[in-house]
Amino acid sequence: MRRVDPVVFRAGCPDCRGSFELAASALRLAIGATSRTTFYSFTCPDCDTLVRKPAGERIVELLTGGGVRTLRLHPTV
């Protein structure tokens, strides 16, 4: 059986300018009806600020593929 390393994502805080790696469990992805309402969020481990950043198609693909918990803000048809 092959060992799989956990997925980590690089992130940065706009408040304290910290740069760090986060596990998928530390991130949340919200998918809205438009690109303006699609974002990911996390709490900065350095300053404890809640950070919210926009998520384009590529970011959504990377986060969902890496196991980040996702919330759909609109019904799918």
pLDDT of residue 73: 86
Q: Give the separation between CA 51 and CA 26, rounded to whole angstroms.
A: 11
Rounded to an integer, what is the distance from CA 18 to the centroid of its chain?
16
Which residue is listed with tokens 């198609």?
A: 57
pLDDT of residue 3: 63
Tell me the per-residue pLDDT of 29-59, one tens digit each, with 9 for 90 and over.
999 988 889 999 999 999 999 999 999 999 9
Q: Could you tell me which residues are beta bridge partners of residue 10?
A: 21
Task: Provide the whole-model pTM.
Answer: 0.84
Nearest to 72 by CA among 24, 37, 25: 37
pLDDT of residue 34: 87
pLDDT of residue 4: 62
Tell me the per-residue pLDDT of 5-28, one tens digit each, with 9 for 90 and over.
778 999 999 999 999 999 999 999
